[in-house]
């Protein structure tokens, strides 16, 4: 049977009190008895010495109780002794024999029926005859008193131990009662997704416990929320991916099927069908490329190396220039050169995606500004466009996979809704931060805060 804490404390205190109190009671009763018996022995020896000094003879004595008698070497008394006060014959004979052979006074307690007699004996010589001179005192009341004290001490010990143990158990149960509320609340929290919050009351220790439990519950709720958001995000990712792949595949199949089943196809129709197939194939290629880059960024360790920002930006400009030239967009670089530690390939991918997004949101002939500066050991880099902008709600969802503010425009531009998602992952790998500010009709600013110096983190490659 499982015992509660207060029950274990009650039994433990009860056992300790009984053992410790029992030992103490035995020692106290025995000490009191020994002291009383020692006083009686001292008094009996004193009276015995007075009787010997007074010159005891075989005819002296006024009865065995409280008096003295002379015994010969054979143990025979000078007068008959009262049988109810006489010690056992064997014990008396043995004591007399010891006295006659002793050189001094002997003291001994002997039983006499239900009584206890204190015998004091010493050898004396009268008329050339060796006698054992004995004195006796009745010490039965001492033994009776010891027994009475033992009974009272045992009764007090039992009652006191039970009272102390009960008090300890009650105090323990009272102190632990708030913990029962904590336990019940924790059990309730395991049965459902309800939020757990315990009132912070009681002693300092209990307050500290409730604060810790509330903090743990809050952290658990936050982790649960994040896990649920991750699960929902992955489901949306899978659904969106299936949808994004299905649309171009359907268009490609339809156009290819028309080319296959139509007996006569005009040149304009052939060009139209082939154009649809090419554009949709390009969109699938772009989608698969970004998905591959996203998986690669999430599953590999960055290769951090120092490089000049100016060289990296020129490479990005060269890669984006053909796309920008087709729409007469101007890319302006402004800021001081600096050396930073990044994964060159991933960081270039990050900047290319930001500039590509800015280009898709801009009208022909507009400007895209890439500004950078150094502040507090960090590189502050901003990509600023003059495009259509986004609302606050659209900014909050901008990094979600496959999400597009204007799907028709994005698909026309070859977008798949993965650019900012990939940027967000690359930013995390660099222990950087990305903030997006935008206003409809006034453009968008994406700012990066990147540490200039850092050690490459230890990351395990994902299997599969």
pLDDT band at 33 (very low <50, low <70, confident <90, very high): very high
Considering the entire predicted model, what is its pTM? 0.43
CA within 13 Å, CB half, 213: 22
Higher pLDDT, 61 or 93: 93
Domain boundaries, the chain: 5-77+84-151, 301-451
User: For the segment 314-348, what is each residue's pLDDT rounded down to a tens digit?
Assistant: 888 887 887 788 889 999 998 888 888 888 877 88
| pLDDT above 90: residue 62 | no
Nearest CA-CA partner of 333 in 345, 351, 360: 351
Share of the chain above pLDDT 90, in %: 17
User: For the segment 120-144, what is each residue's pLDDT rounded down to a tens digit?
Assistant: 888 887 777 777 888 888 889 999 9
Predicted confidence at residue 202, as pLDDT, reads 65
Average the pLDDT over 231-256 and give the result.
Answer: 68
pLDDT band at 166 (very low <50, low <70, confident <90, very high): very high
Predicted confidence at residue 461, as pLDDT, reads 40
**Exposed, middle or buried by CB within 10 Å (0-12, 13-18, 19+), for 187?**
exposed
391-394 long-range contacts, CB within 8 A, separation 24+: 391/438, 391/440, 394/438
Q: CA-CA distance, 397 to 14, in Å (whole number)?
A: 67
Asked if 163 and 17 touch (Cβ cutoff 8 Å), the reply is no
Higher pLDDT, 422 or 154: 154
Average the pLDDT over 92-106 and give the result.
Answer: 83
| Domain 301-451 class, CATH top level | alpha beta
| pLDDT above 80: residue 401 | no
Asked if 341 and 348 touch (Cβ cutoff 8 Å), the reply is no
DSSP code string of 115-127: EEEEEEEEEEEET
pLDDT band at 233 (very low <50, low <70, confident <90, very high): low
Measured at the CA of 95, the angle between CA 142 and CA 41, to 5 degrees, comes to 30
| pLDDT above 50: residue 438 | yes
Q: CA-CA distance, 316 to 294, in Å (whole number)?
A: 19
Predicted confidence at residue 67, as pLDDT, reads 46
In this structure, the strands spanning 378-385 and 339-343 are: unpaired
Strand partners, 383: 370, 446
DSSP code string of 132-158: EEEEEEE-HHHHHHHHHHHHHHHHHHH
Predicted confidence at residue 243, as pLDDT, reads 54
**Exposed, middle or buried by CB within 10 Å (0-12, 13-18, 19+), for 360?**
buried
Segment (H or E) for 372: strand 367-375
């Amino acid at each position: 049977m499982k015992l509660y804490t207060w029950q274990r404390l009650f039994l433990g205190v009860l056992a300790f009190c009984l053992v410790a109190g029992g030992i103490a009671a035995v020692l106290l009763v025995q000490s009191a008895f020994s002291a009383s018996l020692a006083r009686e022995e001292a008094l009996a020896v004193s009276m015995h010495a007075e009787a010997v000094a007074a010159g005891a003879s075989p005819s002296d004595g006024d009865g065995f109780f409280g008096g003295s008698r002379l015994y010969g070497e054979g143990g025979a008394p000078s007068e008959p002794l009262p049988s109810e006060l006489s010690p056992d014959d064997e014990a008396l004979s043995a004591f007399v024999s010891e006295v006659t052979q002793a050189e001094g006074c002997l003291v001994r307690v002997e039983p006499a029926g239900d009584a206890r007699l204190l015998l004091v004996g010493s050898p004396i010589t009268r008329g050339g005859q060796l006698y054992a001179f004995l004195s006796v005192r009745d010490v039965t009341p001492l033994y009776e008193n010891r027994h009475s004290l033992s009974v009272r001490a045992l009764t007090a010990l039992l009652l006191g131990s039970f009272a102390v143990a009960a008090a300890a158990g009650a105090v323990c149960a009272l102190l632990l009662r708030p913990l029962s509320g904590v336990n019940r609340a924790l059990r309730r929290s395991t049965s459902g997704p309800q939020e757990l919050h315990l009132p912070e009351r009681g002693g300092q220790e209990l307050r500290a416990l409730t604060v810790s439990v509330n903090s743990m519950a809050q952290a658990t709720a936050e982790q649960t929320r994040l896990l649920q958001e991750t699960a929902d995000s992955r489901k949306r990712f899978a659904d969106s991916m299936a949808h994004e792949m299905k649309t171009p595949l359907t268009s490609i199949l339809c156009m290819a099927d028309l080319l296959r089943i139509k007996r006569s196809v005009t040149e304009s129709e052939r060009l139209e069908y082939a154009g649809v197939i090419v554009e949709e194939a390009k969109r699938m290629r772009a989608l698969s490329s970004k998905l591959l880059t996203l998986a690669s960024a999430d599953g590999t360790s960055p290769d951090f190396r120092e490089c000049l920002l100016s060289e990296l930006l020129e490479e990005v400009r060269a890669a984006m220039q053909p796309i920008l030239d087709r729409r007469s967009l101007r890319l302006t670089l402004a800021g001081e050169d600096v050396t930073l530690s990044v994964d060159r390939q991933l960081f270039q991918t990050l900047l290319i995606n930001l500039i590509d997004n800015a280009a898709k949101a801009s009208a022909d002939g507009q400007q895209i500004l890439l500004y950078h500066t150094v502040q507090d050991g960090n590189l502050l880099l901003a990509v600023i466009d003059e495009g259509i902008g986004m609302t606050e709600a659209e900014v909050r969802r901008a990094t979600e996979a496959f999400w597009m503010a204007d799907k028709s425009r994005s698909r026309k531009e070859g977008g798949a809704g993965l650019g900012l998602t990939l940027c967000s992952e690359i930013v995390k790998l660099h222990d950087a931060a990305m903030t997006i500010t935008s206003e409809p009709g006034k453009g968008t600013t994406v700012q990066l805060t990147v540490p200039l110096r850092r050690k490459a983190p230890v990351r395990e490659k994902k299997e599969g």
